[in-house]
Structure 1
């Protein structure tokens, strides 16, 4: 698409990013989040080659574009994969940009290879194919605020919630394992050989009664905590 046509729609972009059908978008260093491990990727510096991140094998990352896209009410877009990114082993699901959109883009990519690989900051990661509509299409709903700070807050909160959910699941598993152990110990007492039972009949009776009572109480408590934690996840 000619630069003059883009400017007519209020789209400003570097000449090197303009294509015949729209424009390319590049990777920003302000937000590169590993959705798989729920942590931000470290930005490395490689001298003249520029900064880069190392995407782990089979990891899915959420990234922010450097470019802010401002579309008028007669212009919409489709975010398409770049062949070079696909040849590197990155999978990207296309998405759309509604007419009237104003903001940076948050995109996701998956490293499909069984090895980690570097991704350069500022690298062209996707292409926006622009479409012109016959009539104006007002943007529906409130215009979302997309910025590095807001996106980082969202994913930080998501990571915290995921960590809490993981802890609750581990605690729940401990409850169930402990309850099962108590039940097994109670059953084991019932299958002791007859001589042992006769020799320690009184002790076993008392221990069995106490153990059953404790086991029953712990089982009830564990079930209660299990159900309580399940509602919080």
Structure 2
């Protein structure tokens, strides 16, 4: 694992050797830690709960609702040589004080681009993360030998981002169809019950009145149950 001193040396080495060392952009020394570098909230995010893309730069923040998982693009772009890899970890302040999930993912040697970080909110209240605030720590590791396996993935993982948006669109359409079907079912039940009430009232007014009172009592409960499914 590389210390802050090692990371600075790797960054300096990179300036004269484009295929070696570590490159971080934008880089600010104050975000160096003894064992890594704190990455910050970037330009865009995505909420799985609301199925929408979030312009973090415009809104200046991203709000994570209870039981929501968001995907956040890092502000920093990183480029690594074939002999340096990375692991991404949650910051203690965010996991303990904010109730956010831990982060466990890797950066392959030779990677170039921004990172997509998935974070869940386990609290009963929303958590707000500000644009350009640090939210995860990247630890860099020196490989014993050069990585030979080709990455075969585009920079910034635009493929994952586009797939993410496509999945959310498909789930939205599915949900909309389910809502239409549920509403048709609710309306059909209401019509059936009304006809039944009218028929019973004509045959037996007392029984009809009792049935109407019972329907009025349980209708809100039935409606809420159907609507929530």
Could you state the TM-score of these two structures normalised by the residue count of structure 1? 0.65
Tell me, yes or no, if the aligned pair for 2:82 and 2:147 is still in contact at 8 Å: yes
Match of 1:31 among 44, 59, 63: 44
3-state SS in 2 of match to 1:100: coil
- Over 3 Å counting, the alpha-carbon distance change for 1:20 and 1:27 in structure 2 is same
Instruction: Tell me the residue number matched to 2:134.
Output: 124
Instruction: Tell me the residue number matched to 1:16.
Output: 30
In 2: Cα distance, 1:37 partner to 1:136 partner: 42
- Over 3 Å counting, the alpha-carbon distance change for 1:73 and 1:43 in structure 2 is closer
In 2: Cα distance, 1:38 partner to 1:151 partner: 15
3-state SS in 2 of match to 1:122: coil
What is the aligned length?
A: 178
- Pairs within 5 Å for 1:187-198: none
CA root-mean-square deviation: 3.1
Structure 1: state its 5+ residue gaps.
185-233
Specify the structure having the higher radius of gyration (Cα).
1
**TM-aligned CA deviation for residue 174 of structure 1:** 7.6
Instruction: Tell me the residue number matched to 2:147.
Output: 137
- Pairs within 5 Å for 1:157-176: 157-170=166-179
- Over 3 Å counting, the alpha-carbon distance change for 1:164 and 1:88 in structure 2 is same
**TM-aligned CA deviation for residue 171 of structure 1:** 5.7
3-state SS in 2 of match to 1:106: strand
Tell me, yes or no, if the aligned pair for 2:31 and 2:37 is still in contact at 8 Å: yes
Structure 2: state its 5+ residue gaps.
14-20, 193-229
Tell me, yes or no, if the aligned pair for 1:27 and 1:124 is still in contact at 8 Å: yes
